[in-house]
């Protein structure tokens, strides 16, 4: 455990060279299975898997279950995390639950309950007990902060006495409620010309990112930047934005960072995006970092002033990214081609 801690402490973003060719980074990461558009099965009977069928999915990881004919529904999602669970289980668990909560709130779903499962720990070993204890604290703290109910068994775990190099993993399932399915806000970009904003702090952080691990080959790095109190502020703002019907689409920054979050949002309707990056933030960090507490939102032009007023009133940082295009993808005035180029062969 101390070796992992020393590696985390020693890591510095300055030790990672900034790439000169962003397009090369993007197309290198496109072959990463975790970032491919084909990263889940829509239909197990479909062989081979159809990119068209998967790309058309509009709910992005959250399952919706109709309860009645009035539009009431349940939402459910499952998420897993293993980064630094051995040496910082509380923070790792809080990050995982924050991700799941933010995802549901982006859709306009009310998260209500959570259950957790620890996989590949040896409870007879002191380190296994530390992982279980820290994960339990993280679960309880995040549930209290986000007003979630926890299953009465708290965290269940399986016992492995000799699992070898397999890392300990925590898996959570979250359930939310939907009053009217027609009001769901999906992640998919909706309309050419709409404005795109980034809500939350932009920081120079690439810790535990797909970019750092897959492109640079660095597996040992700190957990992504995270502040649970910032999450609470953003959750509050999201709820108000939904109540005022200001969001056309909303996506939490997830795997692959901002760029791949936007790409996943662009695919369903064959749209693109034209964005400008922040000069004060490293380009690779801005595009591919996976720091917590950030959301991409799509706002119609005639609702922009109201959106800006709400963000300013709640003192929440936001950044004007750009706008939705008919299909072209542009970063800092440089064209990377069109959305069909980005998804061909996936």
Whole-model pTM: value is: 0.89
Cβ count within 10 A of residue 263: 20
* Max CA distance (Å), the chain: 60
d(CA 131, CA 298) in angstroms, rounded, equals: 39
Here the tokens at position 11 are: 């890591």
Can you give the pLDDT at residue 135? Answer: 94
Total count of residues recorded for the chain? 346
Which residue from 296, 62, 60 is spatially nearest to 177, judged by alpha carbons? 62
Cβ count within 10 A of residue 302: 7
Can you give the pLDDT at residue 240? Answer: 97
CA angle 57, 263, 257 (to 5 degrees): 115
Q: What region does 9 belong to: left with phi over 0, alpha with psi -120 to 50, or beta?
A: alpha
Phi, psi (5° rounding) for residue 30? -60, -25
pLDDT in tens, 189-247: 999 999 999 999 999 999 999 999 999 999 889 999 999 999 999 999 999 999 999 99
Are 64 and 184 in contact, with CB atoms under 8 Å apart? yes
Can you give the pLDDT at residue 128? Answer: 84
Can you give the pLDDT at residue 189? Answer: 97
Gyration radius (Cα) of the chain, Å: 20
Decide: residue 15, CB within 10 A, 0-12 exposed, 13-18 middle, 19+ buried: exposed
| Cα dihedral value 60, 36, 295, 337, nearest 10 | -120
Placement of tokens 């640079």 in the chain: 216
pLDDT in tens, 300-309: 999 999 999 9
| CB-facing half-sphere around the CA of 283: CA atoms within 13 A | 13
d(CA 336, CA 324) in angstroms, rounded, equals: 14
Are 221 and 11 in contact, with CB atoms under 8 Å apart? yes
Q: Are strands 149-159 and 63-66 parallel, antiparallel or unpaired?
A: unpaired
Query: What domains are defined for the chain?
Result: 2-39+186-343 (3.90.650.10), 61-183 (3.30.1330.10)
Average pLDDT along the chain, 346 residues, taken 10 residues at a time:
46 92 93 69 46 47 83 90 88 96 96 92 82 94 97 71 73 94 93 98 94 94 95 96 97 95 93 96 97 98 97 96 98 94 61
Here the tokens at position 6 are: 């020393």
Between the alpha carbon of residue 47 and those of residues 33, 50, 138, 182, 330, the distances in Å are: 18, 8, 40, 32, 34
């Amino acid at each position: 455990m101390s070796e992992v801690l020393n590696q985390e402490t020693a890591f510095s973003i300055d030790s990672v060279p900034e790439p000169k060719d962003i397009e090369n980074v993007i197309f290198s990461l496109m072959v990463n299975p975790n970032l491919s558009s084909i990263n889940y099965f829509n239909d197990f009977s479909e062989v081979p898997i159809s990119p068209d069928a998967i790309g058309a999915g509009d709910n992005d990881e959250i399952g919706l279950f109709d309860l009645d004919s009035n539009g009431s529904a349940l939402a459910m999602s499952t998420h897993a995390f293993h980064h630094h669970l051995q040496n910082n289980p509380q923070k790792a668990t809080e990050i995982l639950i924050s991700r799941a909560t933010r995802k549901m709130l982006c859709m306009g779903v009310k998260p209500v309950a959570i259950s957790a499962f620890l996989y590949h720990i040896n409870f007879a070993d002191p380190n296994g007990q530390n992982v279980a204890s820290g994960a339990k604290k993280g679960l309880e703290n995040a549930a209290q902060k986000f007003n979630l109910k926890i299953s009465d068994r708290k965290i269940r775990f399986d016992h492995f006495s000799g699992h070898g190099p397999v890392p300990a993993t925590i898996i959570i399932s979250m359930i939310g409620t939907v009053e009217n399915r027609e009001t769901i806000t999906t992640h998919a970009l909706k309309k050419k010309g709409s404005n795109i904003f980034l809500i939350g702090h932009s920081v120079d952080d690439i810790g535990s990112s797909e970019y750092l691990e897959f492109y640079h080959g660095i597996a040992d790095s700190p957990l992504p930047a995270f502040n649970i109190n910032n999450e609470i502020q953003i959750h509050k703002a999201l709820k108000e934005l939904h109540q005022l019907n200001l969001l056309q689409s909303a996506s939490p920054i997830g795997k692959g960072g901002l760029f791949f979050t936007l790409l996943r949002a662009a695919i369903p309707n064959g749209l693109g995006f034209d964005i400008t990056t922040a000069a004060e933030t490293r380009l690779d960090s801005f595009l591919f970092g996976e720091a917590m507490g950030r959301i991409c939102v799509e706002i119609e032009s005639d609702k922009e002033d109201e959106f800006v007023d709400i963000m300013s009133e709640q003192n929440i940082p936001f950044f004007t990214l750009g706008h939705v295009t008919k299909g072209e993808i542009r970063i800092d005035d440089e064209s990377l081609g069109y959305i069909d180029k980005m998804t061909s062969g996936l």
